[in-house]
Amino acid sequence: MPTKKGLGKNVFVAAMDRVNYIFDNFPKIYVSFSGGKDSSVMTHIVASEARSRGRKIGLLCVDLEAQYKLTMDHVAEMYEMYADVIEPYWVALPLNLRNAVSQYMPQWKCWDVDKIDSWVRKPPAIAITETYKFPFFHDGMEFEEFVPAFGKWYSEGKP
């Protein structure tokens, strides 16, 4: 088993060093934000650094429709808290998702426009629901395809 080698600094200082490196070396930065604890901490750190540098960052939340209300309330609070430093990308698109609760339907499509009456909830007003806004999007696209394609598109300065 490999031996850990300490850096001589705590986790927060190490995280700030990495975030500063990103800000120092890349012109466009975005955070992929799920509303969970890890991405929330990362969003706080990166948005705070953006604010101190007078920069903007992209904030991507891929809304998968059937998510906990309190999680989505937290996402909305974070978008509001950092409105001055973010380019908001709250995405509610018809993505194919793996379905672990049915052996008859191994995938389902969130925000399926053909099944609006069956939606768990309506997308928030801030959500981007138009597929044409993302030229790389295609019907049947999966979450795991969308996120790296978004990153490439965002980094190319096309938004």
Q: Is residue 119 part of a domain?
A: yes
Report whether 110 contacts 97 (CB < 8 A).
yes
pLDDT in tens, 107-158: 889 999 999 999 999 999 999 999 999 999 998 899 999 999 999 999 998 6
Q: How far apart are CA 32 and CA 150, in angstroms?
A: 10
Q: Is residue 6 part of a domain?
A: no
What is the pLDDT at residue 159?
A: 65
Q: Is residue 3 part of a domain?
A: no
Q: How far apart are CA 61 and CA 54, in angstroms?
A: 22
What is the total count of domains within the chain? Answer: 1
pLDDT in tens, 8-18: 899 999 999 99
Structure token digits, residue 26: 């890349």
CA atoms within 13 A on the CB side of 107: 10
Q: pLDDT-based confidence at 22, cuts 50/70/90? A: very high
What is the pLDDT at residue 108?
A: 87
Percent of the chain with pLDDT over 90: 85
Percent of the chain with pLDDT over 70: 99
Q: How far apart are CA 124 and CA 6, in angstroms?
A: 44
What range defines the domain where residue 117 resides? 11-155
Q: Is residue 147 part of a domain?
A: yes
What is the three-class DSSP state of 91?
A: strand
Q: Is residue 58 part of a domain?
A: yes
Q: Is residue 56 part of a domain?
A: yes
Of residues 155 and 2, the one with the higher pLDDT is 155
Strands 86-91 and 30-32: unpaired
Q: Is residue 2 part of a domain?
A: no
Q: Is residue 146 part of a domain?
A: yes
Is the entire prediction scored with pTM above 0.75? yes
